[in-house]
Amino acid sequence: MTAAVEVPPTPLPSADPVLQVRNLVKHFPVRGSGVTRRTVGEIHAVCDVSFDVARGETLGVVGESGCGKSTTGRAILNLQPATSGQVIYDGKDVTQLTGSALRVVRRDMQLVFQDPFASLNPRMTVNNLVGEPLVIHHIGESKQARRDVVAELLRTVGLNPEHGNRYAHEFSGGQRQRIGIARAIALEPKVLVLDEPVSALDVSIQAGVVNLLEDLQDRLGLSYVFIAHDLSVVRHIADRVAVMYLGRIVEVATRDALFERPAHPYTRALLSAIPIPDPRKERERRRIVLVGDVPSPAAPPSGCRFRTRCQVFRDDLNDDQRQLCIEQHPALEERGQGHPVSCHYADVERVV
């Protein structure tokens, strides 16, 4: 077995961490169109991301499209090799593992996909889909024993085991996502990376799947990395929330702290976009509307990556203050808000 890896310190430690991510970086090469296909640039998908996930905890990861949430999830599972950094599980650096050592870790870390239509092989029956992890990891002595396990798994996620002989396309979106969840928990993992597990589903179905996930967490003691862009879902399920922007975590806090006292201007803008189911309140509150698009991750802005769209940078700062934002990347650290935030001029403002 590989020797335990030394874990560098992190600005946001947590007690009893089951998964530790340190300085995770993922760059994708941009190749030219010529014959030699030289690498002409790099997409900075994930930059220096560090966090801990405690046993039984749900860490929400939020941010807009293209900010590196999913890539972070894939890199944690070594489905996409990280450019640098460490993902430490059980004393081992997952990014360095290959072959059978990686397979061992896969038993403990699983992924639930966003798209329940694309992530289930259309040529396989539900029994085969859910039973596949058992076959791969040689769990269960006989075919019948495996079939019983599969039936139990299907019951666990709220499906009828008698439908096991059907194909995925014969189910609704919510049912398919349950199949995907059954497959992911078949190996009794410790950590589940949920890559936007409910965003492809109807709102009416979302609640059912979210409740199932919470229920499973209580019963099986799972830790979740819950990737989402729907803040109301995250507010419901997450214990802690990390906000990502352009490949970096800009703020991490417990759920209540984040929603009550958002310190980063980007977080405030995100939160102000949550609709409030009360028309009177909704009309009165101040919305922070971000202008422009996310800058190209191939050429991220210098200093603070958010400054090109930052309402504070635009409206509240003078030129001297702006210079700091342009020149220096604000480290993710405690700045008097009670939780780490990556902004030179972090401020608390109630927006929800």
Choices 99-107, 253-261, 276-284, 321-329 (CB under 8 A): range interacting with another protein? 99-107
d(CA 60, CA 57): 10
Report residue 350 as tokens.
């109630």
Pair 227, 195: CB distance under 8 Å: yes
Q: Which helix (H) or strand (E) holds 44?
A: strand 39-54
Report residue 174 as tokens.
């919510």
Binding mask 154-183 for another protein (x = CB under 8 A): ------x-xx-x-x-x----------x--x
Q: Residue 39 or 160: which CB sits closer to another protein? A: 160
d(CA 312, CA 112): 37
Residues 118-147 contacting another protein, CB under 8 A: 118-125, 132-133, 136-137
Residue 149 contacts another protein per CB under 8 A: no
Least distance CB 107 / another protein (angstroms): 7
Q: Residue 118 or 299: which CB sits closer to another protein? A: 118
Residues 63-82 contacting another protein, CB under 8 A: 77, 79
* SS3 call for 196: coil
Instruction: Give the contacts of 323 (CB within 8 A, at least 6 positions apart).
Output: none
d(CA 349, CA 105): 42
Least distance CB 167 / another protein (angstroms): 4
Least distance CB 124 / another protein (angstroms): 8
d(CA 52, CA 273): 28
Residue 254 contacts another protein per CB under 8 A: no
* Nearest-5° Cα angle at 293, 62 to 324: 80
Instruction: Give the contacts of 140 (CB within 8 A, at least 6 positions apart).
Output: 134, 146, 149
Residue 150 contacts another protein per CB under 8 A: no
Q: Residue 138 or 280: which CB sits closer to another protein? A: 138
Choices 3-11, 86-94, 102-110, 270-278 (CB under 8 A): range interacting with another protein? 102-110
Least distance CB 257 / another protein (angstroms): 33
Q: Residue 136 or 298: which CB sits closer to another protein? A: 136
Task: Please give the full DSSP string across 118-162, using - where no structure is assigned.
Answer: TSS-TTSBHHHHHHHHHHHTT-SSSHHHHHHHHHHHHHHTT--GG
Least distance CB 169 / another protein (angstroms): 5
Pair 51, 77: CB distance under 8 Å: no
Residues 294-313 contacting another protein, CB under 8 A: none
Least distance CB 120 / another protein (angstroms): 6
* Nearest-5° Cα angle at 90, 85 to 93: 25
Residue 28 contacts another protein per CB under 8 A: no
Q: Which residues bind another protein (CB under 8 A)?
A: 77, 79, 102-103, 106-107, 110-111, 113, 115, 118-125, 132-133, 136-137, 160, 162-163, 165, 167, 169, 180, 183, 187
